Amino acid sequence: MLHGVFTALVTPFSQNGTIDIGALKAIVQKQLESGIDGLVPIGTTGESPTLDSKEKELIIKTVAQLAKGKVPIIAGSGSNCTKSAIEATKIAKDAGADYTLQVAPYYNKPSEEGLYRHFVEIAEKGELPVVLYNIPGRSAVNMSVNLVLRLAQHPLIVADKEACGNMGQIQDLLHRKPSDFAVLSGDDALTLPMMVCGAQGIISVASNMFPSEMVKMTHAAAIGDFSTALEVYNWIYPFFVNQFIETNPVPVKTYMASKGMLEEVFRLPLVPLQASHKETLLATFKN
């Protein structure tokens, strides 16, 4: 069962707008050295909406060359078109992914039955185990607990990245889920509360910058050492807040750029942080 910290990798770009493969390799290597439990390329944090299919394949291959066999690779290959999601998932598998992250179809807002059929079709034809991704703030549709539990009965639907933001809904899911079905937080700030209630870990934005700290927090929580977990959580919590001062992944990439890990480059429609927000972000730990 999936557990621990899975980093939703950023995609570093060079000043000319192309993918900075050297920076990506360095980021992945730091993740591995920090004891990360898994890597998630080309999710929202990786600016996947602005990447073409060849770039996505290149990123997965690059990550797999370094991490394959060391940690699981969960590639973002979701779409609001079922056929496209299946095709992208097959490409991700060939590029080295071990799992596929499948976001709830966005914009077209399918019914609950449509959601069910969408994910089952991908599980049966995409050739990779499926991690569901419930994020109504971006997809405009909320996957109910009953729907997730129904999908969890499928042998190839193995986990849920849960970012509904509703702890009542999350607690209900954790209380009722099968023991072999993983629930991972999709929100850094809710990682510890969710793990206290029985979640298995986090697909994290913050671990791009702070992998060791996120590993320490989640591994402590997993063995019931909540005193250690809370100490780390309280230290890093201001960053959890400020990394969403504007749209993800602009803040986390800005912070990483300030540490020389990548260039402060984004693809439209994402743009650099407002000056006042950048000042606030970079001052996160000054006090």
Q: Average pLDDT in the 125-151 region?
A: 97
Annotation: binding site? 45, 203
As a whole-number percent, the residues of the chain with pLDDT over 90 amount to 99
Q: How is 109-170 classified by DSSP, letter by letter? A: ---HHHHHHHHHHHHHHSSS-EEEEE-HHHHS----HHHHHHHHTSTTEEEEEE----HHHH
Mean pLDDT of the 29-36 span = 98
When the pLDDT of each residue in the chain is averaged and rounded to a whole number, the result is 97
So which residues are the catalytic ones? 133, 161
**pLDDT per residue over 35-71, tens digit each?**
999 999 999 999 999 999 999 999 999 999 999 999 9
Find the CATH number of the domain harbouring 204: 3.20.20.70
Element containing residue 244 per DSSP (H, E): none
Q: Which domain holds residue 124?
A: 4-283
The total domain count for the chain is 1
Q: What is the pLDDT of residue 286?
A: 83
Question: Per residue in 232-243, pLDDT tens?
Answer: 999 999 999 999
286: CB partners within 8 A, 6+ apart: none
Positions at the binding site for pyruvate: 45, 203
